[in-house]
Chain A
Amino acid sequence: MHKSLLVFTFGFFCGLNLYSQSQEYNLSEEDRLYTKVENVKILTTRGEMLSLSQMYVREPFVLALVFTRCIGVCSPLISNFKEKISELNPKEKFKILVVSFDTADTKADLDNYAKLFNLNQNENWVFATTGQIPELIESVGFHPEWDSSRRQFEHDALLVGINGNGYIVKKLIGIRNIRAVESMIKEISNEFVISYPLPHNNSILSCFTYDPITGKKKPKFGLFLLLVPAIGTVILLVIISRQKKKKISENY
Chain B
Amino acid sequence: MNISLKRITSTWIITILLLFFTAIILGITMRFNQGKVISIDDGKFYGIMTTHGMTMIAIWAVAGMVGVHYLLSRYINVGAGLSKFAFIMTVIGVAMFYVTTFIGHFHAGWTFLYPLPFKNSFAWESWATPMFFWSLTVLGVGWLVWSVGLLVAIFKKYSFSQTFAWQHLTKKDPEVQTPPLVLISAISLVGIVLCLLTAVVILVLSFAEIYSDGKFVNDPLLMKNLIYFFGHTIANESLYLGLGIVYELMPEISGRPKFKTTWYVALGWNFTLLFVLTAYFHHLYMDFVQPLGLQMFGQFASYFASIPSAVVTIISIIVLLYGHRIKWTITNLLFFIGITGWIIGGVGALIDSTISNNIFLHNTLWVPAHFHTYNALGNVLLILGFFTWVANEFSGSQTDPMRKLKLALLIIGGFGFVLMFYCGGAESVPRRYSVYPAEFTRAALFASAAAWFAIIYLLGMSLIFVDIFKKCIRVYSSSHSDSSVA
Contact = CB atoms under 8 A, between A and B. Distances in A.
Contacts of B263: none
Given A13-B130, A19-B211, A203-B218, A243 B160 contact: no
Contacts of A25: 119, 121
A236 B366 CA distance: 38
A230 B121 CA distance: 35
Interface in A196-212: 196-197, 199-200, 202-210
A20 B121 contact: no
Interface in A211-244: 217, 219, 222-223, 225-226, 228-230, 232-233, 236-237, 240-241, 243-244
Nearest to A202: B217
Given A203-B218, A252-B179, A237 B160 contact: yes
Contact of B127 (A16, A21, A24, A233): A16
Contacts of B193: 233, 236
Contacts of B197: 228-229, 232-233
A246 B78 CA distance: 13
Nearest to A197: B220
Interface residues of A, number: 50
Given A202-B214, A209-B289, A243 B225 contact: no
Q: Give the one of A210, A223, A252 with max B CB within 10 A.
A: A252
B344 interface: no
Contact of B160 (A17, A241, A248, A251): A241
Interface string B220-252: 111001100100000000000000000000000
Interface in B355-390: none
Given A22-B126, A208-B290, A208-B291, A240 B218 contact: no
Contacts of A204: 216
Contacts of B220: 197
Contact of B121 (A23, A207, A251): A23
Contact of A243 (B99, B152, B215, B217): B152
A205 B215 contact: no
A80 B217 CA distance: 34
Contacts of B213: 19, 21
B222 A207 contact: yes
Nearest to A16: B130
A20 B215 contact: no
Given A14-B127, A207-B222, A23 B214 contact: yes
B221 A208 contact: yes
A222 B75 contact: no
Interface range on chain B: under 10, 10 to 19, 20 to 34, or 35 or more?
35 or more
B201 A228 contact: yes
A126 B477 CA distance: 84
Contacts of B277: 230
Nearest to B151: A240
A206 B222 contact: yes
Contacts of B190: 233, 237
B226 A246 contact: no
B125 to A, nearest CB: 8
A194 interface: yes
Contacts of B200: 229
Contacts of B195: 229
A241 B119 CA distance: 44
Contacts of A150: none
B322 interface: no
Contacts of B194: 229-230, 233
B198 interface: yes
Contacts of B25: none
Contacts of A9: 92, 96
B152 A240 contact: yes
B139 to A, nearest CB: 14
Nearest to A19: B211
A227 to B, nearest CB: 10
Nearest to A34: B437
A151 interface: no
A6 B289 contact: no
B126 A17 contact: yes
B177 interface: yes
Given A16-B127, A202-B217, A222 B222 contact: yes
Contacts of B163: 241
Nearest to B99: A10
Contacts of A20: 126-127, 129-130, 210-211
Contacts of B120: 22
B63 to A, nearest CB: 23
A200 B289 contact: no
B127 A194 contact: no
Interface in A46-97: none
Interface in A1-45: 6, 9-10, 13-14, 16-17, 19-25
A127 B36 CA distance: 42
Given A222-B222, A226-B226, A252 B75 contact: yes
B159 A241 contact: yes
B142 to A, nearest CB: 15
A217 B294 CA distance: 13
B84 to A, nearest CB: 14
A204 to B, nearest CB: 8
B476 interface: no
Interface of B: 75, 77, 92, 95-96, 99, 118-121, 125-127, 129-131, 134, 148, 151-152, 155-160, 163, 176-177, 179, 190, 193-195, 197-198, 200-201, 205, 210-211, 213-222, 225-226, 229, 277, 288-291
22 contacts: A14-B131, A19-B211, A20-B130, A21-B214, A23-B119, A202-B214, A202-B215, A202-B216, A207-B222, A207-B225, A226-B225, A229-B195, A229-B201, A229-B229, A230-B277, A232-B197, A240-B151, A241-B159, A245-B156, A245-B158, A248-B158, A248-B176
Q: Which 3 A-B pairs have the closest CB atoms?
A: A17-B127, A206-B219, A229-B197
Given A205-B218, A229-B201, 11 more contacts: A9-B92, A14-B127, A202-B216, A203-B217, A205-B205, A206-B222, A210-B289, A233-B190, A237-B151, A245-B157, A246-B77
